[in-house]
Amino acid sequence: MIEALSTMVASFGAGYAVGWALRRVVSVIETVVALYIAATAVLVYAGVVTVNFNALINMLEGIGSWLTNTVGTSAVVAALSVLGVPFSAGVVTGFMRARMPAFSATRYNSPFLSDNE
């Protein structure tokens, strides 16, 4: 009983660490991509670069369908069965808890938003 519990706690802890690190890496990648898009938008606005939007849309649709076909829900089911529920729950918890910065409706004094919803 103690061995099983300690394995579950260790697995959850490892998953939490992986989820936390994954969120930080995704955050850095988001920042780099946003800066690249902003720089490209400035160059398009200045007339230095022209963008073929039809080709861009076709490329993005191709990437989306490739991700859907490659990753899909079967990968999530496989990860749950191989890694176990405690590890997977730890990854999700670590990913969600590592938000930067935490949004709080009371910080912005908004009458439309509340932390209770």
Predicted confidence pLDDT, tens digits, the chain (117 residues): 777 777 777 888 888 888 888 888 888 888 998 999 899 889 999 999 998 889 988 998 888 888 777 766 666 666 666 667 788 788 878 877 755 555 554 555 555 555 554
**pLDDT score of 93:** 81
Backbone dihedral angles phi then psi of residue 33, each to the nearest 5 degrees: -65, -40
The pTM score is 0.58
For position 14, what pLDDT does the model report? 83
Residue 112 phi/psi, 5° resolution? Answer: -95, -20
Q: What is the spatial distance between Cα 34 and Cα 46, in angstroms, rounded to a whole number?
A: 18
pLDDT at 19: 83
- What pLDDT shows up at residue 21? 86
> Whole-angstrom Cα distance, residue 43 to residue 83?
46
Residue 98, pLDDT score? 59
CA 108 → CA 21, 67, 96, distances in Å? 28, 37, 21
Which of 94, 75, 82, 99 shows the shortest CA–CA distance to 12? 94
